[in-house]
Structure 1
């Protein structure tokens, strides 16, 4: 691996420049490490507009608090001087913001702004639940809108509990029943019984029915209220359910099919079957939620302005000003990392793959489909291409027209499978977006060419080794913090050039060859010892 003097000097200079530039930024970045690691960050503004009545006027709304999966900061309140603002702590850690005024028949506006940082959370549900103490009895009681002791609820609960073996299966039956009720954008209050009778509901009706069924069967449950945050100016809030399982409140969303899971963009505001906003009756009132996603680095406490002030060079400006879509930029930055990894696997380990960057691109497509389902779809389509190419070989068609026919059939199959998945709610069939289809098509073309040039046995062997390289690339490239590191430290690309140069000069024996020729090496050592 001897390098020419001029090349060695150039590589040393590149390395020094990259390390110095990284060093300037490393200290302030390491000093602002954030172990909360939010997946989503939004700036949210409640905007209220109303005309006060003939007497004292009051407006109340629930505001969020920090917990294990969401962090609230940057609270700012803008309202006119005629409004008096207070906060009120209620039962179950709910906090209400209250605005009052004695000024009559006048117009008022309020902006209540905060930063929401959220992360998704999965819960593992045991088969059997522990018995609970009496302190949770309030979550087993019937209410006017959650009629858990009604005979209709009793009959339905009895049917859902049949042929179940444990608590988890019962909760799953309740969830599936509620989820299968057709969704409808009903803005009025829908109680549990009405949801059953009309067999359609929005989030609030489905949540009340879910809670009623759980309470009827002896599982403490409650309604949870909040907002699904997204880049939008919206007016709708959202409701889901929490069931107490072994001292943990576990979320279930029967509208959006989230079983024991809460997404990163769910803002939790209050618990209990309550309205989010209340105000004095018979006043003119309007409101909206202005939601703007904030670009962030998950492992840093630094805001956008602080990131712009970092010394040296970074690509944060491209992200913050949306000059390049973040997903596209991540792909561009991760490609060299993936390429270096595959080059190592080919030149040092000795794997044979379909090209250098194709395993990396396949790994990216797996991030859209999921690893297991993506590998299964990938292998299935590749095998399908091999099978449908066989009769065309018998017809002695030229390679290019034969490939066009095969790939056209494959793309048609993907489109039909996606349509079938959407129609029948088969999630894994709906994950073949445009990008994965392109990658799978290129892969199929490479496999088809390999079978023609090397035969099916060698093509299958190369496919297997490509899948190994793809799996390793997926493992590395799925590190969520890696794209952010490359955005903050683009100098790493220079280090990749240096490392790739060393790889390019490697002429030693590959690791696979060490394994293959191990008996030969052992016999040679025995002769030398003799």
Structure 2
């Protein structure tokens, strides 16, 4: 018989290594064991892509600075082969990359860190010089004058004037607004109308901070000078923006990105929120520690946001192993509940459960018809996959038409897994009956709900992402559970008559 000593030594080493890595992470980097104990730092990464034309290249990107509510604590650039400089121009701060010759697709990263700081404030720069009054075509100019006159009558100062101006532009029944917006976007229309009314304003680029967001584009909004500060307005919603998760990235009022020697340029933003100590809230300390290069936090933010979800999957696997090995709960497939739970994270729990039941229930009805055709397995599975796609499409369109916007998230369900689930349950129905289908289907749904609750727990999310050593401890626990050969908890009911006697 093979000795179990090496196995248990391996388990012990995994646990010790996991604890050691976690303690080192806590002591060296100051990451807390529980969330909400420290300051919040946003890591924001701008990904600049363009195609070089085999000649000298110069790329200039508008970059942000300390502003109300946010303190800039660090910035860095990743651009192999390029020289980089940070410039203070008349239109604001810019990062400029240059290279003597480049050709083909190019990718440049600019990363910045902002500390959420309610006490952060900067002295606003008042507008200077005369306002250049724009010109409109004849009919558009008449409409612009009418809009300005109406807003002027209903306002008391420049801020309220802007608010009323945007309300008029968002009025679907206003013919003047339709005429103005027929030739330009809302943000451009607001800017030109304000300039025509001689109100100091500018167009700024804003990004909405959302943890784990990837490939976000910048939003253009309007800023109006109130006499003391710049006030931000969203021309799409007509609201005066005071949200704490809005960061003004581009205040140049000229351009976000300029590329000389390249074409097809674009900028995408990725971001992630980090809970760090005050001592660690500077990029200098983070960059100076070489050990960080071996952690997830050294990856680009787009990949970090992806790993934030991936790191939760072992927790789901642990829950599934415990329920199947110790409790004895039956599920359809081994780790199908984990994938369904990941979909629940995107769709929210109630919407996900309803969508799952609708898709599987409808799929079983259609699958029962396919079974009468005596198709080959490959053709039958392919037909079920196409059917699932059609079911999701129909449910999504119906949900949108009746105003249930939550139903749009049903597209996050893994279609291949759902197809195999329908196939397995259909075969199980034919071989074992409806009772066994209800047991395994109910067990799978119950397990998925438990996994969802575990994956959305803020403490678990914090620990799994910030302490990589926890994955070794989870692995050791799963290996230990794999050695259990005793009775499942659901099997103990067989001994109930003995207890009664």
Matched residue, 2:446: 468
Conserved in 1, the CA contact under 8 Å of 2:18 and 2:472? yes
Counterparts in 2 of 1:95 and 1:325: CA distance versus 1, 3 Å: same
**What does 1:71-470 correspond to in 2, within 5 Å?**
71-74=70-73, 78-79=87-88, 95-97=123-125, 143=161, 146=164, 181=172, 194-195=176-177, 227-229=205-207, 237-238=220-221, 255=236, 264=245, 266-267=246-247, 286-288=254-256, 293=269, 298-301=274-277, 302=280, 306-307=285-286, 316=295, 320-322=298-300, 325-397=303-375, 401-418=379-396, 427-433=405-411, 436-470=414-448
Matched residue, 2:21: 21
Give the TM-score taking structure 1 as reference length.
0.56
Counterparts in 2 of 1:312 and 1:237: CA distance versus 1, 3 Å: closer
For residues 216 and 487 of structure 2, the distance between their equivalents in structure 1, rounded to whole angstroms, comes to 61
Counterparts in 2 of 1:39 and 1:386: CA distance versus 1, 3 Å: farther
Q: Post-superposition shift, 1:356? A: 2.6
Specify every segment of 5 or more residues in structure 2 that has no aligned partner in the other structure, as ranges: 48-63, 76-85, 93-120, 130-154, 192-200, 209-213, 224-231, 259-266
Counterparts in 2 of 1:254 and 1:380: CA distance versus 1, 3 Å: farther
Counterparts in 2 of 1:420 and 1:380: CA distance versus 1, 3 Å: closer
Conserved in 2, the CA contact under 8 Å of 1:407 and 1:444? no
For residues 21 and 480 of structure 1, the distance between their equivalents in structure 2, rounded to whole angstroms, comes to 21
Specify every segment of 5 or more residues in structure 1 that has no aligned partner in the other structure, as ranges: 45-61, 84-92, 102-136, 154-176, 183-191, 209-222, 241-250, 270-275, 279-285, 525-530
Counterparts in 2 of 1:98 and 1:23: CA distance versus 1, 3 Å: same
Matched residue, 2:95: none
Instruction: Count how many residue pairs are aligned between Structure 1 and Structure 2.
Output: 385
Conserved in 2, the CA contact under 8 Å of 1:362 and 1:436? yes
For residues 124 and 187 of structure 2, the distance between their equivalents in structure 1, rounded to whole angstroms, comes to 20
For residues 397 and 413 of structure 1, the distance between their equivalents in structure 2, rounded to whole angstroms, comes to 21
Q: Post-superposition shift, 1:383? A: 0.5
Q: Post-superposition shift, 1:430? A: 3.2
For residues 356 and 304 of structure 1, the distance between their equivalents in structure 2, rounded to whole angstroms, comes to 43
Conserved in 1, the CA contact under 8 Å of 2:65 and 2:72? no
Describe the superposition over 1:236-255 as per-residue Cα deviations: whole angstroms up to 9, x where unpaired: 63259xxxxxxxxxx99783
Q: Post-superposition shift, 1:402? A: 3.7
Matched residue, 2:500: 523
Q: Post-superposition shift, 1:41? A: 3.5
Matched residue, 1:114: none
Q: Post-superposition shift, 1:466? A: 0.7
How much is the aligned-residue C-alpha RMSD, in angstroms? 5.3
For residues 338 and 296 of structure 1, the distance between their equivalents in structure 2, rounded to whole angstroms, comes to 23
For residues 288 and 464 of structure 2, the distance between their equivalents in structure 1, rounded to whole angstroms, comes to 17
SS at match of 1:97: coil
SS at match of 1:96: coil
